[in-house]
Chains A and B, each alone.
Chain A
């Protein structure tokens, strides 16, 4: 479904990604592993058009879509849950989700369905989004992505700083999405968890892919080495 080929990304003169190659298959969950500053967020942001890259370097269903705007990628079905949640503080929980729904693709996921699945959110739907607990905010952030009915959902550090219970809630929601056939890319600090959830994985180090494989067969030593850059 998604093919990344020879993807390089820059911030001004600084090169953050060097000729990255990877792929995500239909319905698969892929984990992206790497230390802080490795370029994981940059990679996800390149996929949704927030960082401009060359057209050929991102192919979605065989079409060269790199560098297209966020809106176009959203319409194609690529949605990002950004690092740090980035909810809109001036908007209520409901407004946050409905705003995304209005600009997303039509489909099964909508605000009402999510409130049905997450009754705790429904209760606070009229509160300002950033007045919630961290775990609940993260659920809103994922909901905001789900209501755009993506085919490929990119999750940047969705469990960072959450309590174990909240992490489980987050993954419960993600797994619901996966059962619908959504493909998911996970960027996770918790390598164990990421490998447990994912089908395949890639390790990124200083802007380069240094290791990849099937998650269940991952050699933890090799992953640790790739992670720490030993």
Chain B
């Protein structure tokens, strides 16, 4: 019973990280109407960037974010400017296929630069520390990463719902053509958004790399988990993505209790079952 509770809590903590993976995907799907197939590979790229910094400086992974975040912002901005903006508004398939190509390029570049071996970010003492709560043992690192995820969601929700730039973002999400009519520079907005999406990816990638070993081909799985979180939560619903992530995390860890190899299987299964039962997602579509 106690161990079930522990699994549940750990599942929620893992799910919070998946939610953080999904936040950027949710934004690009909801606002730019595009799915970035390379989203997961960019998460892995962020982890490698951090790893390179950690190996070559005395920074620890979390402080490496000071460098990784600006780098990822620039990468996102450039990708949008140079690639994605050129195929947007053509038909929904073009961005998808283009980012599919990008995914292959990133995976193989990582492979070429860093070999196919797995590596991980040194979490130091954090990895070992745990809190004992009524017989349930909770890792400090998962707790910190879940906390950061919640903060990230609060921040993004505030940005979208309360700030002037957020109203431009919502306007574009509602009706891009009319947003252009009132003077919104949609392409520039998209470039900044893509940069911002990669900032969330940067944060997610370092937290991910600290708790799980990664390799150049780990991206697609991250994309799929992010995607499941977004769809489960209901399209265009930011907090829905958060809860979608939690559900996937819990499903995976509960599944892994049944059979260690079947964790992701149960995550996918929950996703498919929900899709059949509630195609619009679990939560009502809300703002952005």
Contacts and interface: CB of A to CB of B under 8 A. Distances in A.
Interface stretch (A32-40, A88-96, A187-195, A212-220): A88-96
Interface in A90-144: 90-91, 95-96, 98-100, 102-104, 144
Contacts, number: 62
Contacts of B178: 82, 86, 88
B182 interface: yes
Contacts of B164: 98-99, 102
Contacts of A80: 181
B182 A148 contact: yes
A196 to B, nearest CB: 28
Q: Which among B164, B180, B182 has the greatest number of chain A C-beta atoms within 10 A? A: B182
Contact of B170 (A70, A90, A104): A90
B66 to A, nearest CB: 32
A90 B183 contact: no
Interface in A4-50: 48, 50
B236 to A, nearest CB: 9
B168 interface: yes
B288 interface: yes
B240 to A, nearest CB: 15
Interface string B157-199: 0000000100110110111011111111100000000000000
B287 interface: yes
A82 B167 CA distance: 19
Interface residues of A, number: 24
A206 interface: no
B13 to A, nearest CB: 32
A82 B181 CA distance: 8
A90 B168 contact: no
A3 B193 CA distance: 38
A74 interface: yes
A70 B181 contact: yes
Contacts of A102: 164, 183
Given A90-B170, A90-B287, A103 B183 contact: yes
Contacts of B175: 86, 88
Question: Is the interface on chain B under 10, 10 to 19, 20 to 34, or 35 or more residues?
Answer: 10 to 19
A218 B170 CA distance: 45
B181 A95 contact: no
A48 B181 contact: yes
A65 B179 CA distance: 20
A88 B182 CA distance: 11
Contacts of A104: 182-183
Contacts of A90: 170-171, 173-174, 287-288
Contacts of A52: none
Contacts of A91: 167, 170-171, 174
A99 B174 contact: no
Given A82-B181, A103-B183, A148-B183, 6 more contacts: A71-B180, A90-B171, A90-B173, A98-B167, A99-B164, A102-B164
Q: Which 4 A-B pairs have the closest CB atoms?
A: A103-B183, A100-B182, A90-B170, A86-B178
